[in-house]
Amino acid sequence: MKISLSRSPLALTAALCASLTLALPQGARADYPPVTDTTVSGSYLAARVATAERDTDAAVAYLRALLKMDPRNEEILERAFFAMLVDGDLDNAVPLAERLVKLDRSHRIARLVLAARAIKKNEYQRARTNLSLSVRGPIGDLTATLIAAWTMLGSGNSKAGVEMIDRLQGPDWYSAFKDLNAGLILDAAGQKKEAGKRLEAAMKFDPASVRAVDAYGRWASRNANAATAIEAYEAFLKVVPRHPLAQAAIADLKAGKSLPVLIKTPQEGAAEVLYGLGAALARQGGEDLALVYLQLALWLYPDHPLAGLTLADLYEQMKQPEKAIEVYLKVPDSSPLKSNAEVQLAVNLDATDKFDDARKHLTDLIKSDPKDLDAIVALGGIERGRKMFGDCATTYGQAISLVPDPQRNAWTLFYFRGICNERSKQWSAAESDLKKALQLFPDQPHVLNYLGYSWVDQGVNLQEGLDMIRKAVSLRPDDGYIVDSLGWAYYRLGRYEDAVKELERAVELKPQDPVINDHLGDAYWKVGRKLEATFQWTHAKDLKPEPDDLAKITKKLAGGLDAAEAPAPVKEAEPAVKQASEQKGG
């Protein structure tokens, strides 16, 4: 299970990130690939292509070359600045920020970078000046105010810093950030009583925020008692089970240790602000600004325990597993998050088609700790993804054996083992697993869909199975795969007009899925719309279906549906052990 690194009630839209024009992954390096085209037009086109393909190193290399050829071009200057910034090349980005503010005095990101540099140099008034000159907005106001408040701690006036935070007006979601940072500033300044009040308020506002809980737990360990701190961490673990930071804190407290202040300096505080907002932006789809904030956070505080892993998580979202691997390799052995990083490293190795390396890495982790549930589940996941269904059924069984009293959150273990058993033609075991998953989580749409469709496909429990699929659709009306299951269930029942209706909606939701398009073609053929059926099959063929499906589609295009030996409509029958269709959204 991948841990939740951070959580915050931040409601953001893409418009907040409109000032950023590049979405590039990180990978700070001093050496960039050589530029092969030394013309302005060629380098410009190459930079755009590299940007579109998220090839960071090439993009930066071409943009740097362009700057030398056309140093006064403002568009190239800005593109190069952002490319270097999100690439983690802050040393080269800072001089460009200085040039940008000469062209645009209130350039928000350039001012933020210059403020960060000033904080690194303990030049707190200069940092505040840069922040005050930047363009504002919901994110800009919050960022500038919180960072400026931390600089006031550096200037020896923490009270003024907290007052700056309290004067800030804005949306309701500001509250979590305001209370947390005010409490952290007060704690760093030794103002114990007021710090405790603010940190407790932040924790209560968002009980699933690991930073708020950790900040309060650390304060309580020093200013209240170990029992109060442990209570806070244990309450958090009920919301976010097995979080390693909370588990490590409880272990230290039970060993008689008190926990140090979470954030000690203005530099660490500014990094905490950037990390918190960057993590929230990443969850809300603001990848560009999230990259900027997280890179700045790591520049200010390279050892921040969560900023690096949040960056790696963002790379995973952006389908950049190589970059994620680079970050996971840097997590120190002493970190409570090391185990999670090792598991995610293997997951990303598999994503780069290094399955053997990934499997060995996880197997070694499990050998060293046979109770490492996260590693076992990850191994089951990559085996399932590689269609090694017999193996993954065994692996998930190993995971289930470590959960003697499964609760609601264990439903996925039984669900995935059920899939693996069903795909390896062990229907009796699969049905038992799916029923157990549904017992743990009665309204889980994926389980309802999978079990319901399996019954319909086998011709058993037809009405109950159909009702399950309908319920799944009502719970997830915009899930194209689940809607497809309903359409295909109608098809299998011989209700072709109903099938067409649902499958047309499924294609609208998932227009690029070959299986759904193929299903719609079959339904069209059954209702006499043969020209449209041919069109759908042709489209499905162009979408690169699985080899077995491709062979069937080719037969249908050559000789119609009958040539592909289409399945006959199902009728109520005695339970039979047979492999259900691949299309169940699992």
- Give the model confidence (pLDDT) of 398-449 as tens digits: 999 999 999 999 999 999 999 999 999 999 999 999 999 999 999 999 999 9
Say which range, 359-368, 508-517, 576-585, has the weakest mean pLDDT: 576-585
Q: What is the pLDDT of residue 207?
A: 94
Q: Is the pLDDT of residue 578 over 50?
A: no
Longest dimension (CA), the chain: 83
Evaluate whether 23 touches 290 at the Cβ level (below 8 Å): no
Question: Would you say residue 140 has pLDDT above 80?
Answer: yes
> Is the CB of residue 454 less than 8 Å from the CB of residue 423?
no
Place of tokens 């990259």: 291
d(CA 145, CA 127): 11
The DSSP code sequence of 189-208 is: TT-HHHHHHHHHHHHHH-TT
Residue 53's pLDDT is: 65
Which residue shows structure tokens 């050829």?
A: 69
Whether the predicted pLDDT of 18 surpasses 70 = no
Task: Give 81-103 pLDDT, tens digit per residue.
Answer: 988 898 888 999 999 999 999 99
pLDDT score at 97: 96
In b/e form, how buried is each residue of 102-118, taking b as 16+ CB within 10 angstroms? eeeeebbbbbbbbbbbb
Rounded mean pLDDT of 122-129? 97
Q: How many CB atoms lie within 10 A of CB 169?
A: 7
CB neighbour list of residue 167: distance below 8 Å, 6 or more residues apart: none
Q: How confident is the model at residue 12 (pLDDT cuts 50, 70, 90)?
A: very low
Higher pLDDT, 141 or 7: 141
Contact predicate 91/296, CB 8 Å: no
Please, what sign has the CA dihedral across residues 297, 303, 306, 309?
A: positive
CB 290 within 8 A of CB 313: no
- Cα angle 235, 240, 245 (rounded to 5 degrees) comes to 85
Structure tokens at 366: 């499990």
pLDDT in tens, 293-340: 999 999 999 999 899 999 999 999 989 999 999 999 999 999 999 999
Q: What is the pTM of this model?
A: 0.83
Residue 252 has what pLDDT? 97
Interval 382-400: pLDDT, tens: 999 999 999 999 999 999 9
Domains in the chain (CATH in brackets) are 14-267 (1.25.40.10), 474-586 (1.25.40.10)
Mean pLDDT of 134-144: 87
User: Tokens 């200037």 sit at which residue?
Assistant: 155
**Are the beta carbons of 304 and 210 closer than 8 angstroms?**
no
Query: What SS3 string covers 517-538?
Result: HHHHHHHHHHCCCHHHHHHHHH
In tens, the pLDDT along 489-534 reads 999 999 999 999 999 999 999 999 999 999 999 999 999 999 999 9
